[in-house]
Amino acid sequence: MRLAYLGPAGTYGEKAARRLATLEGLEVELAPQQGIRAVIQALASGGCDAAVVPVENSVEGGVSTCMDALWEHPELAVRRALVLPIRHALLGSGPLEGISEVLSHPQALAQCGLWLGAQLPSALQLPTSSTAEAARLVKGSRFRAAIASREAARDHGLEVLAYPINDVPGNCTRFLLLQRSQREETGPFASLAFSLRSNQPGALLQALVCFAAHGLNMSRIESRPSKREMGEYIFFVDLVLPPGGAEPLGLALDQLRPLCEHLALFGTYPLDTLPLEESGASEPAGAESGAASEPAGAESGLAGA
């Protein structure tokens, strides 16, 4: 089975892909892609048999590129989800005081903003397609550094200049394992998206009542512009189903469907949370953890890309 993920090697996406494959008992050939849209397109086009994408971060919220791509490909189904704790490191080949440029995925840069502002206030922040790509680009430079995982330091021959450098503790990213197949009722979580027929007062409330009326707990709702006209939105919803929740979900969707212009159910699935110590993101003993002194009032944190 070919499994697409956001590459290159050493990204948090690769770590999530390997873990999800293990949880599903799959033997896979990993197929790194450049960009989240490319990951989903590799699956939708038949170039890969499954794909792993980040859909939500606990600090920065939903990954808009992923949500937009899922809406464009309603034929794809969620097979499983994984919540991955993530700790970032500052990687480089030169001394910390000589760093004038910091490269990383935009979410990683945002989630290390307080640390960067306190420790490297003059450094230029440059976005890249992934954290591992940032690590690749800074190799050999004395003035550039990357925000990435400690595994990326090993993969690209870099030094860990500071760790951890996150602003918020307990940060994590939820990854989805996607496939092209008929949706199966495999777990207590469900994800869907819909656009409404009318933009009248109370229209969204009327749609959400469909979930409450059948005992479905809405754990997340997020909107994305339809890209057709101002004020028109697509709503992405995650649900926690009650025991035997397949029937209540079906009843809620039957009630919701007449209110929608489009409705896409991405599937019901199990969700696993990887403990911090198993994710490889736990703090090391010794000098490395002390290298990343936190700014006053700041907390440690994570990001995922």
Residue 30 lies in a domain: no
Residues 261, 129 within the same domain: no
pLDDT score for 300: 29
Mark whether 282 and 144 lie in a shared domain: yes
Residue 230 confidence (pLDDT): 79
Cβ atoms of residues 83 and 19 within 8 Å: no
* Cβ pair 194, 234 in contact under 8 A: yes
Strands of the sheet with 260-269, listed across from one edge: 217-225, 233-240, 189-196, 260-269
Distance CA 70, CA 62 (A): 12
Residue 34 covered by a domain:
no
DSSP string, 242-281: PTTTHHHHHHHHHHHGGGEEEEEEEEEE-EEE--HHHHT-
pLDDT of residue 275: 79
**The predicted structure's pLDDT at residue 93:** 93
Alpha-carbon gap, residue 245 to 77, rounded angstroms? 18
Note whether residue 139 is domain-resident.
Answer: yes
Alpha helix locations (H) across the chain?
12-24, 36-44, 64-72, 106-111, 113-119, 131-138, 150-156, 203-212, 246-256, 276-279, 287-290
Nearest CA to 20 out of 89, 81, 66, 75 is that of: 81
Output the domain CATH number for residue 140: 3.40.190.10
DSSP 185: B
Each of the 305 residues of the chain gets a pLDDT tens digit; together they read 999 999 888 888 999 999 999 999 999 999 999 889 999 999 999 999 999 999 998 888 888 889 999 999 988 999 999 999 888 999 999 999 999 999 999 989 998 999 999 999 999 999 998 898 999 999 999 999 999 988 889 888 999 999 999 888 788 999 999 998 766 677 899 999 999 988 788 889 999 999 999 999 999 999 998 887 777 889 999 999 988 778 899 999 999 999 999 999 999 999 999 876 555 544 433 333 333 333 333 332 323 45
Report the half-sphere exposure of 136 (CA within 13 A, side-chain side): 12
CB 300 within 8 A of CB 163: no
* pLDDT for res 279: 54
Classify residue 29: in a domain, yes or no: no
Is residue 147 a part of any domain in this protein?
Answer: yes
Structure tokens at 96: 């910390």
Q: Which residues make beta-bridge pairs with 221?
A: 237
Structural domain tally of the chain?
2
| One domain, residues 153 and 198 | no
Same domain for 222 and 281, yes or no, is no
| Claim to verify: residue 137 and residue 207 sit in the same structural domain | no
Give the domain range for residue 142.
Answer: 89-168+277-290
- Residue 203: which CATH number? 3.30.70.260
Q: Are 237 and 282 in the same domain?
A: no
For residues 152 and 207, membership in a common domain is answered with no
Peptide bond into 188 cis (omega under 30): no
- The confidence score (pLDDT) of residue 74 equals 87
From the number of C-beta atoms within 10 Å of its C-beta (0-12, 13-18, 19+), residue 229 rates as exposed
Cis amide bond preceding 164, omega within 30: yes
| pLDDT for res 295 | 33
